[in-house]
Structure 1
Amino acid sequence: MIKKVSTKASAKASPKATGKGAAKTTAKGQSKKVAAPKQTPIKQEGVQADLLNEPADMTVLNRLYDVVLSRKGTDPSVSHSARLLSRGTYKIAQKFGEEAVECLIEAVAGRKDLLVGESADVLYHLIVLWVDAGITPDDVWAELRRREGTSGIAEKASRPKETFAKKDK
């Protein structure tokens, strides 16, 4: 089916998602223009469906992973995911870090509507990192299931301690 990604912004959407020429404030406080996202059909089994009507659960992340994975090795001039993947792990990690910082800034500022958009950016860039590293969502879901029901304190205490040899000066 062909699924079409809707780009309609809600009244509480971040400036990043509001359309052509919207301003985005960078972590350094600079403003830059952001182009409106294009509606990109995702081909699957020849039928059209609006992704916004799909369940908002981990299947959203699984579908996003499949799309990013399908962009690996494709033309970087056509796909943002392909461009990121073609630039390598360092650049992907840098973009993930930038989005994480922007997410933290919105959280500290108490701007929940902007935090939602930045959180989506963080998840997207995390998925690009997964694709680059050969990690699947199932790998992550399995690790979360393994940790389920264990206190965070106990889980962290169970991890092996890393020791670092001191360097001679």
Structure 2
Amino acid sequence: MSILHDLAATIEARKGADPDSSWTAKLLSKGPEKCAEKFGEEAIEAIIEAAKGDRTKLTSEAADVLYHLLVMLSARDVALDDVLNELARRQGTSGIAEKSARPKG
């Protein structure tokens, strides 16, 4: 998991960088909504490759999804560790039980 932590740290470090010198800074400078849109685009591309069954392209798109997820989280000041802690909290709980315990609405 250290690669994800390293990537998250790099993204955080690029928050104040010049958008002309960093793709990450450029994305973040466009605001959280644009970061979310880009994440959605990458997720759709991964879905397409998964449906096609191309492992190499799916692997590449999945890497893009993870990167853009971290950018989107950073744009809203959500730390990777917060997400990992939420996953840890859910560990060992049935997905069906976890979903039914969520607040409605």
Shorter-chain TM band: over 0.9
Distance 2:37 2:103 in 1: 28
TM-score, normalised by the number of residues in structure 1: 0.61
Structure 2 residue 76 is matched with structure 1 residue 133:
yes
The higher relative CO (CA closer than 8 Å, separation ≥ 6) is in 2
Give the residue type in structure 2 aligned to 1:100.
Answer: A
The structure whose Rg is larger is 1
1:114 to 34, 38, 57: 57
TM-score, normalised by the number of residues in structure 2: 0.98
Give the residue type in structure 1 aligned to 2:11.
Answer: V
Pairs aligned (count): 105
Equivalence for 2:11: 68
Q: Which structure has more strand as a fraction of its residues? A: 1
Q: Which structure has more helix as a fraction of its residues? A: 2
1:61: Cα distance to partner?
A: 0.5
Structure 2 residue 64 is matched with structure 1 residue 97:
no
Distance 2:7 2:82 in 1: 15
Which 5+ residue runs of structure 1 have no aligned equivalent? 1-57, 163-169
RMSD of the TM alignment (CA)? 0.6
1:115: Cα distance to partner?
A: 0.2
Which 5+ residue runs of structure 2 have no aligned equivalent? none
